[in-house]
Chains A and B, each alone.
Chain A
Amino acid sequence: MQLYLLFALLGLSTAAYYVGRRKAFALAGRAAEAVRLHSRPTYHGALTALWCGIPALLIFGFWLVLENQVITHLVVRDLPEAIRSLPPDRLNLVINDIRNIEGGSFASQTTDPGMQAAADHYRQLRSISNHALAAVTIALMAAATLLVRSRITSHLRARNQVEAILTVILVACSTIAIFTTIGIILSVLYEAIRFFKAVPITEFLFGLDWSPQMAIRADQVGSSGAFGAVPVFLGTILISAIAMVVAVPIGLMSAIYLSEYAGKRLRAVAKPLIEVLAGIPTVVYGFFAALTVAPVIRDWGNWVGLDVASESALAAGLVMGIMIIPFVSSLSDDFINAVPQSLRDGAYSLGATRSETIRQVIVPAAIPGIIGGVLLAVSRAIGETMIVVMAAGLSANLTVNPLKAVTTVTVQIVTLLVGDQEFDSPKTLAAFALGLILFIVTLCLNIIALYVVRKYREQYE
């Protein structure tokens, strides 16, 4: 229904374009008066279309956002007192049931008549809302079109007005990045603060025991919930470190080989192939880690006589390292290529071999950029989710043994938030606290890395 209305709005705007343009042509076409328009007729059309479409679209958007809350409020107001006085989470369940009945996903004979009545009320309100929305927007569009049409004269500075509107739209679009950042910070911070009200921040940051299962019943044993996140942080660091041990040498050496030694043909083949590694979805790596790499590592470990967990940190870290190789290599490649040829020539003329030139001249010259690239890769490793969700464990062991199972920040966020969510229990809110830490850490890494990279780029320009 709303989709059709959206298409109708777009269609009407297109129609408005032709209305405006026709008027302009009609004005210009009167040969006797020989009117000269300020703008070309397409601008008159565009101006009409913009005035017709934008306010209607704005109203459409706000309506959709607010509709649900208003209708829910109205339905709740008419519910019997017994239901209205329920605690908020129970009330939400009731509202969900009403919506489900309204959507037809419950067989209607199984529900009691009160709920059915509420659902009917809900459906009726929705239908009223839909019709009202259609009436309001279409009336508004017609009015706007007629108004603009009546104002089209030969002196109307249509082009300037259209361009002004477009500029405003462009500015609005470019600010979305800022709103996204603000949205992330506010939403994560808000829930995290609620979490820190229940669990002291020092316990969260320095506690050594992580078992976020909360007791469902008050008399339940052994699951009081412990939120010391150190084991989780340590697991993240361990897996990221393994990943970097794999990715940095391989990535750096392949970048050096490709930019300094390889011929054109090898470079043309190998470079895109390595970059394919970056384009593979992480869920594929996760599957590879869990079903191919982890069993192999476990079998080898057993063969040597080591006790390897089936969800070892090594498997997840190794595969994550493979995923990160192209990030390290393509960034390092950029920076190695940015080192001026004169530095190389200088080293060669002193009699240095190629590898000596690379190790003692080129890499030191490119090192700030390479460090920036490595930092970006670290931030990627820390935030990587699917590989660790599928291949690393859930148990928060305080260990640095890569053969044991560890858990990471992202794994915990996923396990805490997938499934039932209760936004008043520390269990769910803990995910946001972890998310806040994750965001802050990656933000710092990114800012440092981007600063270093930018600084370095300017150096040789």
Chain B
Amino acid sequence: MNNTIGSSDAPAPRRTIDIVNRSLKRRYRAERRFRFYGMAAIVLSLLFLALLFASIVFKGYSAFWQTSIRLSIFFDPAVLQQDTLVNADYAALVREALFKKFPQVEGRQDKRQLAALMSSGGVYRLRNMVLKDPDLVGKAVEVWLPADDDIDMLIKGHFRRDLPESERRVTDLQIAWIEKLESEGRLERQFNTTFLSAGDSREPELAGIWGAVSGSFFTLVITLSLSFPIGVAAAVYLEEFARKNRWTDLIEVNINNLAAVPSIVFGLLGLAVFLNFFGLPRSAPLVGGLVLTLMTLPTIIIASRSALTSVPPSIREAALGVGASKMQMVVHHVRPLALPGMLTGTIIGMARALGESAPLLMIGMVAFIVDIPKGFTDSATVLPVQIYLWSDSPERAFVERTSAAIMVLLAFLVVMNAGAIILRKKFERRW
């Protein structure tokens, strides 16, 4: 294009304007094409985003419901008094109730199929009922108990009923029983409280995210209580006190580099230093918090520094002018004005730490942990690692639970980021 303009003093008989006009159509076409590419790029990235969310919500929403079956359980004193109430064979009660419901079922094979309708987790529910109220012994009570995960998947339509029986995980007999129960109103989809309140389990219908959420909480408490003060202090020193010299340059280069070091390398550091050298416990939120602190520190330092730079120098000069010391100027005048920016950076750093899983794999927070962690040194896992663990499980029912756990994780992240945005909007000042 530049050439055509440059050739205006050529001896050709045509005027420049003709040359320009002739190429104009082509150039406008190129313009439209370019614009279209730009638009397509944006549409494509938004499409990916929509696809990601849609696929997760579509896969996961059903996990918040769990198929339950209502059985008339007879708390048989003969069974319960054989042993202590804690160790009694509650599974037998469930089996008895099922056999009574379907008296025509004969033969070991069929009876086993019938018992497989129910989750083994019903046992714990019955035990808790009896421990809470020992008077139940000898009575018959209608109880809702969770169905097995295969039945749950069938009811939710994830297993097709029209396949030949040999390719299904649910047999024809079982389907017939289920349909009978359904027609009697004994089978229902209920809100899945187990998912929100239980720890991990090998049985999908008993698995919950509460253990992972607690682990994440303890880990983040450590991360926040270390990285915020340290990050702010480092930023204040570098921005307000340090002279520009080799040493501070070195620190700066280090911070910028650490911000871009792959997170898994921090995991290696944690494994070699915190576990092998200092001998801290494996799988503990304490160590996870320390590793994530080192990982988020650069983010917080960089955000805090930019918050400090945005405070105008006139504030500092005014404070110094009325006789404040440098430390007083920073603590009393600069810090309050920079605090919203620092907090915003900290929340964003915490959100990153909450979603991080790679370094935690290195320090053993991937163990299968059923108990809900109660403290900083208990074995624990965190929400993203729980998602990773479940996504590896072969059971179909874990797919929806993984998606649902992702939805919970994303909800936490949305809340944190929204908090950061509100904070910024509310306290943002233009000087």
Measured CB to CB, the residues of A under 8 A from B are: 3, 65, 68-69, 72, 159, 162-163, 166-167, 169-171, 173-178, 180-181, 183-184, 187-188, 190-191, 249-254, 256-258, 260-262, 270, 273-274, 276-277, 279-288, 290-292, 322, 325-326, 329, 350-356, 358-360, 376, 379-380, 382-386, 389-390, 410, 413-414, 417-418, 423, 431-432, 435, 438-439, 442-443, 446-447, 449-450
Contact between A443 and B254, CB atoms less than 8 A apart: no
Total contacts A-B at CB 8 Å: 273
**B38 engages A181 (CB within 8 Å):** no
B279 in the interface, Cβ–Cβ < 8 Å?
yes
Between A and B, 7 residue pairs with Cβ closer than 8 Å are A167-B327, A174-B251, A184-B266, A385-B263, A410-B358, A418-B361, A423-B276
In the complex, chain A residues whose CB is within 8 Å of the CB of B366 = 418
**Chain B residues whose CB sits within 8 angstroms of the CB of A181 once the complex forms:** 254, 257-258
Q: How far is the CA of A261 from the CA of B375 in the complex (A)?
A: 54
Which residue on chain B has the smallest CB distance to residue A384?
B262
B residues whose Cβ falls under 8 Å from a Cβ of A:
1-2, 5, 20, 27-28, 30-31, 33-35, 37-42, 44-46, 48-49, 51-52, 55-56, 59, 229-231, 233-234, 236-238, 241-242, 250-251, 253-258, 260-266, 268-269, 271-273, 276-279, 294, 297-298, 301, 325-327, 351, 354-358, 361-362, 366, 375-376, 384-385, 387-388, 391-392, 399, 402-403, 406, 409-410, 413, 417
> Cβ of A280 and Cβ of B52 under 8 Å apart?
yes
A253-B38 CB under 8 A given contacts A174-B238, A183-B269, A191-B272? yes
Residue of B nearest to A375 (CB): B260
What 10 A-B pairs come out closest when comparing CB atoms?
A: A383-B262, A257-B38, A281-B355, A187-B272, A253-B41, A355-B34, A385-B358, A170-B237, A173-B233, A174-B234
What is the minimal beta-carbon distance from B221 to any residue of chain A, in angstroms?
11
A370 to chain B, nearest CB (A): 15
Tell me which residues across on chain A come within 8 A of B354, comparing CB atoms: 281
B contact residues around A281 at 8 Å (CB): 354-357, 384, 409, 413
CA of A159 to CA of B39, assembled, Å: 60
By a CB distance below 8 angstroms, the chain A residues around B254 are 177-178, 180-181
B376 touches A379 (CB 8 A): no
Q: Are B261 and A254 in contact (CB under 8 A)?
A: no
CB-based nearest B residue for A359: B34
CA distance A288 to B58 in the complex (A): 12
- Bound complex: CA of A252 vs CA of B45, how far in Å? 12
Interface of B is mostly: helix
Given A178-B254, A253-B37, A276-B49 in contact, is the A188-B268 Cβ separation under 8 Å? yes
Nearest Cβ distance between residue B153 and chain A, in whole angstroms? 15
Contact B263 A383 (CB under 8 A): yes
CA distance A167 to B242 in the complex (A): 10
Decide: A256 and B258 in contact? CB cutoff 8 A. Answer: no
Instruction: Tell whether, in the assembled complex, residue A177 and residue B39 are in contact, meaning their CB atoms are under 8 Å apart.
Output: no
State in angstroms the CA–CA spacing of A435 and B265 once bound together: 6
A274-B260 in contact given A177-B255, A281-B384 (Cβ < 8 Å): no
Known contacts A177-B251, A187-B268, A417-B271; A410/B387 CB under 8 A:
no
Are B297 and A187 in contact (CB-based, < 8 A)? no
> Could you tell me if A292 and B55 are in contact, using CB atoms closer than 8 angstroms?
yes
Is the pair A280, B410 in contact by a Cβ cutoff of 8 Å? yes
Of the residues B5, B31, B325, B387, contact of A284 by C-beta under 8 Å: B387
A65 to B402, CA, bound (A): 38
CB-defined contacts of A252 to chain B, threshold 8 Å: 41
**Measured between C-beta atoms, what is the minimum distance from A449 to chain B in Å?**
8
A439 touches B355 (CB 8 A): no
Contact residue among A166, A283, A359, A442 (Cβ-Cβ distance under 8 Å from B357): A283
Q: Are B262 and A288 in contact (CB under 8 A)?
A: no
A3–B37 alpha-carbon span in the complex (Å): 58
Known contacts A273-B46, A288-B55: A353-B264 contact under CB 8 Å: no
Least distance between B55 CB and chain A CB atoms (Å): 5
| C-alpha spacing A95/B54, complex, angstroms | 50
A257-B387 in contact (CB<8A): no
Kindly list chain B residues whose C-beta atoms are within 8 Å of the C-beta of A273. Answer: 46, 49
Given A170-B237, A438-B265, 18 other A-B residues pairs in contact with their CB atoms under 8 A = A174-B234, A180-B258, A188-B269, A253-B40, A280-B413, A283-B388, A286-B391, A287-B387, A291-B399, A360-B1, A383-B261, A383-B262, A383-B265, A386-B388, A390-B388, A443-B261, A447-B253, A449-B260
Query: Which one of A177, A249, A443 lies within 8 Å of B41 (CB-CB)?
Result: A249
Contact partners of B52 in chain A: CB under 8 A? 280, 284-285, 288, 322
Assembled-state Cα–Cα distance A113/B120 (Å): 37
Our pick among A170, A191, A353, A443 for the contact of B236 (Cβ within 8 Å) is A170
Q: Chain B contacts of A287 at CB under 8 A?
A: 56, 387, 391, 402-403, 406
- Contact call A410/B264, Cβ cutoff below 8 A: yes
Q: Are B357 and A386 in contact (CB under 8 A)?
A: yes
Do residues B262 and A382 form an inter-chain contact, with CB atoms below 8 A?
A: yes
Given contacts A261-B35, A446-B257, whether A284 and B45 have CB atoms under 8 Å apart is no
> Is there an interface contact between A282 and B261, defined as CB atoms closer than 8 Å?
no
